[in-house]
Amino acid sequence: MIVLILGGLFFVLRPESPSGVPQDRTFDVSIEGGEMSPAEISVNEGDSVTLRVSPDEPMELHLHGYDVEQEVEPDQKARLRFEADLTGRFEIEDHESERELGVLQVRPR
Amino acid sequence: MRRVAAAALAFLFVLADGRPALAHGFGPTYDIPIPLWLYLYGAAAAVVLAFVPLALFSRKERDAAYRYPRFDLFRVRLLRKILTSRLLTGGLRLLSVTLFFVVVIAGLVGLQSGFNIAPTFVWVTWWVGLSFFTASVGNLWPLVNPWGVIFDWAEGLVRRFGFRDGLELDERYPEALGIWPAVGLYLVFIWIENVFSGSYVPRNIALFALAYTLITLYGMAFFGKETWLRRGEAFSVFFGLLGRFAPTEVRVKDPDVCPGCDGCDDDARGRCVNCYECFTRAAPDERELNLRPPAVGLGLPEKVPPGGAAFVIVVLAGVTFDGLLQTPLWLEIVRLTPVTQTLGTILLPLLFFGIYLGFVELSRILGGERGFRRFAAAYAFSLVPIAIAYQMAHYYTYLLIQGQMIMSLVSDPLGWGWNLFGTADFEPRYGIVGAGFVWYSQVALIVAGHVIAVYLAHSISLRLLRDPVRAFRSQLPMLVLMVLYTITSLWILAQPIVK
């Protein structure tokens, strides 16, 4: 009885999984005064992500967890490419100052 | 005494800088907040499942709390040999004291930013790791407590040099004080963990550890080791509480060693469960190390000293506070009211205590029995499983990921570029568990903790009221209280993370 109620409730509440197939996602990201804009990038598991980064000063970007590193410079749209295969919340930081610039959020399917 | 307390309080307020920034000893979180639908599902499950334990048992037995299946590990010859060998117990004690000194030395002279073993060991390995171990395996703290070990060694040394009286002055401990010293010290610890912005600076950790060493050694010398560990040493009390949840217990078969021991209960009628002092005193073949169902230890009718319920509430509130600090709601509270982080450390336990006592009083009235204090003392333990489940849900990914850092840190504890064990370059692996699994396991843990809590509260009420009908009635307010606490825990996990 209780198993039935809880099981039924689970399937009623559980939403459709976000768009079945992995997509190519591209984001334009600017960095000013140590703040990324947008501050949070949200993608789904399996997406191919490209970040086009324009910072206000030269720095070395580091995406935690994925261990992607990329030197970026002003007036030069550097590209950060990776497959979003790890789910969770990952910090994007300036590798030298180890300052958090923003967050990548990868939602599971 | 009051003046000292006022001065201490003033000192705390001076230290509090009121910055709403996340002041935490841990690294970043890799968890995504649980989605709304799963939060609602967990809450609904908590309400539905709350009635299962009630339906399951309505027997009345006087001694029900003590009747549970047990298996004595010492009955297996090999296990007995291994578990009681001096090599293992002595080795663990030595390891514990060594680690204690490594942390203090690393904190004092090691690299202050970046590579240093002190913050990770204290906040992740010891605080989170040992808590998990204690709740899910058993309480090792009475064996490895570094202050206890150091005191024992010092005592042995002093006696060897001919001072027969040893180190203990054995001043009479004021009984009315109960375990309030532990409550106070634990509050300070929670404040350091959650509010103090320098809680992961190695030097601060070393200084706090040394200050606490002074307090603890002095307390043990002044009131006697056993007395202080039981009443003033916050971590002994804390791990003792978690140990009640653990699926193992120590037990003394023959209670001859018990009279005069203040850890044993008069109500236990010749049973001595989880009293480590008696266990140490008992002859080897009088000892048992039992496997038992988890959480039954929280339902045992043990004596609760003054401050006992307050300690439990402070633990519950502390666990919640830790999560609450990272929610947007808390940022709003800090912005709109004069409540600071420090004030929150004190106000939240008071709020919890008020709510708790209110529900206990309701439960007592519905049960139709007198003795408010007895009820308040007994029921507090039934809430512990929710706190443990929440703590595990909240922290197990930390332990899995940040915990790996200890691999490289043991090779280079001071950050001086050593590579003692060849593991200094160990890179932690991320993504051991996916975010989807984390969500489901978090909700499952919390709901499971909730069901255990309801079960415990009901068995406690049967013990207090000795009548199934009245016990059932008295359980309704407790059910509401537990559903509230569980939903709060789930709600925190569903909140967006603020920087």
CB neighbours of residue B15 within 10 Å: 14
Residue A42 tokens read as: 């949200």
Cα(B292)–Cα(B422) distance, rounded to whole angstroms? 40
- A residues 61-80 closer than 8 Å to B (CB): 64-66
**Chain A contact present for B45, CB below 8 A:** yes
Across the interface, of A6, A45, A91, the residue whose CB is closest to B48 is A6
Residue with tokens 């006697």: B224
Q: What are the structural domain ranges in chain B?
A: 2-247+292-494
The reported pLDDT for the residue numbered B365 is 92
Q: Is the pLDDT of residue A31 over 70?
A: yes
Contact B110, B416 (CB under 8 A): yes
Q: Which residues of B touch A91 (CB under 8 A)?
A: 28
- The answer to which of A20-24, A58-62, B140-144 has the lowest mean pLDDT is A20-24
The reported pLDDT for the residue numbered B163 is 81
Helix, strand, coil percentages in chain B from 3-state DSSP, rounded to 5: 70, 5, 30
**Chain B contact present for A91, CB below 8 A:** yes
Cα(B383)–Cα(B486) distance, rounded to whole angstroms? 10
Cα(A84)–Cα(B35) distance, rounded to whole angstroms? 19
Q: Which residues of A touch B499 (CB under 8 A)?
A: 100
Query: Among all residues of chain B, which has the CA nearest to that of A9?
Result: B41
Query: Does B430 sit within 8 Å of A87, measured CB to CB?
Result: no
β-bridge mates for residue A60, sequence order: A71
The reported pLDDT for the residue numbered B499 is 56
- CATH number for the A22-107 domain, one of 3.30.565.10, 3.40.50.300, 3.30.70.260, 2.60.40.420? 2.60.40.420
Q: What is the dihedral of CA A96, A97, A100, A106, to 10 degrees?
A: 20
Contact B379, B478 (CB under 8 A): yes
Q: Which residues of B touch A13 (CB under 8 A)?
A: 37-38, 40-41
The reported pLDDT for the residue numbered B16 is 40
Q: Tell me, letter by letter, the H, E, C secondary structure of B124-175.
A: HHHHHHHHHHHHHCCCCHHHHCHHHHHHHHHHHHHHHCCCCCCCCCCCCCCH
Query: Does B29 sit within 8 Å of A89, measured CB to CB?
Result: yes
pTM of the model: 0.89
Cα(B457)–Cα(B462) distance, rounded to whole angstroms? 9
CA-atom Rg of chain B in angstroms: 23
The reported pLDDT for the residue numbered B262 is 67
Contact B379, B439 (CB under 8 A): no
The reported pLDDT for the residue numbered B110 is 92
Query: Does B434 sit within 8 Å of A88, measured CB to CB?
Result: yes
Nearest CA-CA partner of B414 in B167, B116, B62:
B116
Cα(B472)–Cα(B466) distance, rounded to whole angstroms? 11
Chain A nearest-CA distance from B472, in A, is: 20
Nearest CA-CA partner of B388 in B241, B492, B276, B487:
B241
Question: Order of strands, edge to edge, in the sheet holding A24-32?
Answer: A35-37, A24-32, A48-55, A78-83
Q: Which residues of B touch A18 (CB under 8 A)?
A: none
The reported pLDDT for the residue numbered B266 is 54
Residue B56, helix vs strand vs coil: helix
The reported pLDDT for the residue numbered B497 is 77
Within 13 A of B400's CA, how many CA atoms are on the CB side?
A: 16
Contact B106, B114 (CB under 8 A): no
Cα(B382)–Cα(A37) distance, rounded to whole angstroms? 47
The reported pLDDT for the residue numbered B72 is 93
Q: Tell me the mean pLDDT per 10 residues along chain B, length 499.
A: 48 39 53 87 89 68 72 92 92 97 95 87 94 96 96 92 82 91 96 89 95 96 92 95 94 78 62 84 88 90 85 93 89 86 92 95 90 89 92 90 89 88 85 87 93 90 84 90 92 82
State ipTM: 0.82
Residue B309 tokens read as: 């319920």
Which element (helix H / strand E) includes B499? none
For A6-41, give the DSSP string: HHHHHHHHPPPPS-SS--EEEEEEEEETTEEESSEE
